[in-house]
Structure 1
């Protein structure tokens, strides 16, 4: 490699000065031979493994498989940990710490002698956070998704991990599930290594990075325990070494066209609503001008091609056996930028040209999709001046145009205290309004937007109502749920001013969300509104509250937008 194109790691390992001696000599205590310091591309393996992140529990082993591929290709692999975000365990919500993990990833990459990066991801936020951090440094980078679990099993039936969570109350209160039934479900729902096997956020994120061109073709859907996932990891280790030699950086892959492809693919698979807030944040790191409205204009009229829970019937294991994401990409190619480059150096169209579908019950043909116009809809109106979203493929068709009386809960604690009160003035035609669960207000924008219905409503046989909040919803959940209302209630958005008895109009076809209160009345309420007290006075959470942007901008911290590149702040020489 010529001097003008020398490896970034040369500044650590290639010099004969004092600091070169220091950098090499301490690493030698790990037993590395001389040739490891003589021009081999140094590959950082960014590992989100943690015992506290069960969905990523197998990534410790996967790192060794990736290292094998790196060594085979002539690279020098060095694994490093970053903040891991376990969706099922962390409180109050992993979204509060997504930006912290992104900072950790960014600074770990920049500060160390790394020429290329492999991101080992799985659970929901571990994918966007590490991609965000890597984008701000802009080195050659490849993603190895950890893969979904095998299908959950319960009394001979397939069940989705995550999806049952949102039916727990209904099953106990209405369907008379016993404690033994619940325990059997608990044991069988998550029965192998891997992340949720529904088309929830983790699977949506895996498909997101494949559609962006950041994985080898077909990586997203392979189950975590399938041996072919390890093959993909080893091949990814080989490929990242070549990417370094080709100088195939993230900025060459993550173009505007790649982001548009990812939006289209997410619609076609019935992906999570969380996709929007994460893709917006990634675009902000890359300097790609992506707006909330783009999701509606570009991807809301895309047909639903995957019959996967929570919008359909099957699970990710079935999706893989049916041909996986390459089949979907091939079927919807007319909506895509087929020449968008991917990590293997080829266009996404070329990568999927030979994809074959093995089960049309799981993956539809473009001529006979499971649903038309399945993309996430972006709403506007006086209740959400900067936007709100709804997932039509997971909603009740009859509620997509609805006018109802607001039943307001000021906080999630208020909701829990009153929702099952027999005297609560609510019926199935009402609109449940939950405040205080946005980025600043919670803080962290938790997945509580799809709140359970009142017990007395469930006992009437009603399974869905219109629900509105400034929070998020799990990708494993379903319902007629309006999310990400912006501006949020904690900063004085119109949502903060909604009162019990106000009439709210939802019209998804017209993209309208309207609070039927006069502007004069709203101004009076605004003048009397008292902002909530800050929920943190120190540390990261205080910084987060002071700097987090609204959902329509991706909820990144305002000072993290863009990137600083790969140059270290100061050299020790």
Structure 2
């Protein structure tokens, strides 16, 4: 077959001469004689600490590409570090996807290896690959090893939330809290809980875009480098077979990803990422699919925040393939992987080695663990909740709303001893959706009022149009659509309104007559809290971002554009 890169390098004219001459710097003489040219899209960055080791991973990938007869070309791409980027990394997920897509299309490459780890990096890379539709595979950077503090294992993120609430409750000193910092992050790699980074790495394999058996390998484990080398060899084969994302990522693949999301107790952020990836391919994936496919799937993985253990334990207990073998009958057998074979064909030898970490199907941690999609007059286009991380006694609840018009308003008032709040109240935070903030920050798991923490309260119903960290827990309703800034009813809720939640019936309502709710005008404090960017990326984002129920992508990026370059530059 003639490779795409030959459009640049083939022939004897001036343009081909320029392309070859400027790229010869150390390449072998036959580099332009029909070898496939493979980009390694690398999100390594010192400011994305969870991805800093991907430069070492890239070296193993290069060796594998050379060994298979390809030409490896490292391509640094936009990297988003969840812990550092302000105001929220989600603001730039679409920009990272768009810039990566454009660089893949613009350059003389035949395939791409996608190196990601931290939360937004794998979603943005998959969105880009889906749009440009060149042969591609993902290498997740893997979780860090388990750190300990005072003799107990620490879960990244989850124990930050837990320990910080203990400080506010007065049961842990600030000195002890700060001492735990150096114990929390033990090694290279992303968060070791079942947060968004772990979830998206595992879902990338469930989607078929990762060498089977690789996802979840801890970042310091030498097997990550071994399988990265093998992935380098495999991408050359994908190019020769012309196996593109549009053939791998089908409705069946997303079906399997939704089953996986439920079985592993994965992050709610996966919903908005999977919707965005599907949107790039023109696949009709909706919130209803998450509820329909995932609602009856058992929770099998006992990891924080929904459980006890951490990613290193999941790996030793049998990993993702052992989980999927337990729910193999729920998977779509037609979905294939980068191996060219169906996902289910790779599960035959998978074994659960520790049932305390990976429960057997007959004795699940929870019988129904999928993301629940709520609708009602408070969320006409849907909202979601993760029952596996919620308190059972709050899954059916009625309480008075305590409304906050912005994050700043929340922070200013939540610990006010005069705040009229009790354990049955429903905390409502608005102005945190894709447009409102902008970027849909991870603030939905609001800290509880200090006076209630001191009384021993550890969970309350919370409602927000933003997101929450995949490492967080609690009875949190999030991704409310439409958001307040898009005219959603959340903008018209008032403190004192009664809110009814019934997860079993999939309902979320405010007990206000519809005519009265529709007639209400958002108060000035609400309007003042919405983002009003004047220029740059934020202005483009606010003007074009879609709502959470369709993936919060930019409206003009929905759909695949292919790999064709319109014009020659020389």
Q: 3-state SS of the aligned residue for 2:477? A: strand
Q: Judge conservation of contact 1:492–1:531 (CA < 8 Å) in 2.
A: no
The reply to whether residue 563 of structure 1 matches residue 568 of structure 2 is no
**C-alpha deviation, 1:175, in angstroms:** 4.7
Distance 2:440 2:161 in 1: 18
Q: Identify the residue that residue 11 of structure 2 maps to in structure 1.
A: 15
- Matches for 1:102-501 after TM superposition, within 5 Å: 102-501=97-496
Gaps of 5+ in 1: none
Counterpart-to-counterpart distance in 1, 2:523 and 2:123: 39
Q: 1:152: Cα distance to partner? A: 2.0
1:24-70 deviations in Å (ceiling 9; x for gaps): 11112x31121111111100000001111000010111111100000
Q: After superposition, give the CA deviation of every residue in 1:171-214 in whole Å (9 maximum; x if it has no partner).
A: 21225322331122111111100000000000000011000000
Between the aligned partners of 1:97 and 1:358, the Cα distance in structure 2 is 40
Q: CA deviation at 1:440?
A: 0.2
Cα distance per residue 1:123-149 (max 9 Å; x no partner): 000000011011101011000000000
The C-alpha deviation readout for 1:424-478, integer Å capped at 9, x for no partner, is: 0000000000010000000000000001000000001010000000000100000
Deviation at 1:563, TM superposition (A): 1.8
Q: Offset at 1:264?
A: 0.6
Is the CA contact (8 Å cut-off) linking 2:491 and 2:522 kept in structure 1?
no
Is it true that 1:513 corresponds to 2:508 in the alignment? yes
Which residue of 78, 81, 88 maps to 1:86?
81
Whole-angstrom distance in 1 between the partners of 2:315 and 2:522:
55
Using the size of structure 1 for normalisation, the TM-score is 0.98
170-179 or 384-393: which moved more? 170-179
Deviation of the 1:535 alpha carbon: 2.1
Alignment check: 8 A CA contact 1:45 1:79 kept: yes
Identify which of 528, 536, 551 aligns with 1:539. Answer: 536
2:23 to 27, 39, 56: 27
The structural deviation recorded for 1:165 is 2.1
Q: Secondary structure at the match of 2:180?
A: helix
Distance 1:192 1:384 in 2: 41
Distance change in 2, residues 1:181/1:531 (3 Å): closer
TM-aligned CA deviation for residue 531 of structure 1: 4.6
What is the root-mean-square deviation of aligned Cα atoms in Å? 1.1
Tell me if structure 2 keeps the 8 A contact 1:491–1:531: no
CA distance in structure 2 between the partners assigned to 1:173 and 1:22 by the alignment: 64
Give deviations 1:57-90, integer Å, cap 9, x for gaps: 1011111110000000000000111110000000
Shift of 1:339: 3.1
Q: For residue 490 of structure 2, give the secondary structure of its aligned residue in structure 1.
A: helix
Deviations 1:515-549 (A, max 9, x none): 10011211220487885565210011100000000
> Counterparts of 1:144 and 1:311 in 2: how far apart (Å)?
26
Between stretches 550-559 and 516-525, larger displacement belongs to 516-525
Alpha-carbon distance in structure 2 between the residues aligned to 1:233 and 1:61: 10
Does the Cα contact within 8 Å between 1:296 and 1:377 map onto a contact in 2?
Answer: yes
Q: In the aligned structure 2, how far is the partner of 1:183 from the partner of 1:505?
A: 39
2:170, 2:454 within 8 Å by CA — same for their partners in 1? no
SS at match of 1:475: coil
SS at match of 2:15: helix
Q: How many residues end up aligned between the 2 structures?
A: 568
Question: Is the Cα contact below 8 Å between 2:394 and 2:475 reproduced in 1?
Answer: yes
SS at match of 1:136: helix
Match of 1:554 among 542, 551, 559: 551
Quick one: distance in 2 between partners of 1:84 and 1:205?
A: 16
Give runs of ≥4 in structure 1 deviating > 4 Å. Answer: 527-534
Q: Secondary structure at the match of 1:360?
A: coil
Structure 2 alignment gaps of length 5 or more: none
Separation of aligned partners in 2, 1:282 and 1:373: 25
Separation in structure 2 between the aligned mates of residue 567 and residue 527 of structure 1, nearest angstrom: 47
Quote the Cα distance in structure 2 between the aligned partners of 1:234 and 1:47. 15
Query: Do 2:10 and 2:16's aligned partners in 1 also have CA atoms closer than 8 Å?
Result: yes
Distance 1:508 1:43 in 2: 47
Partner Cα distance (2:372, 2:168) in 1: 32
Shift of 1:14: 1.7
**SS of 2:74 mapped into structure 1:** strand
Task: Please give the secondary structure, in 2, of the residue aligned with 1:208.
Answer: helix
CA deviation after TM superposition for structure 1 residue 492, in Å: 1.4
Contact map agreement 1:194 1:224 (CA 8 A) in 2: yes
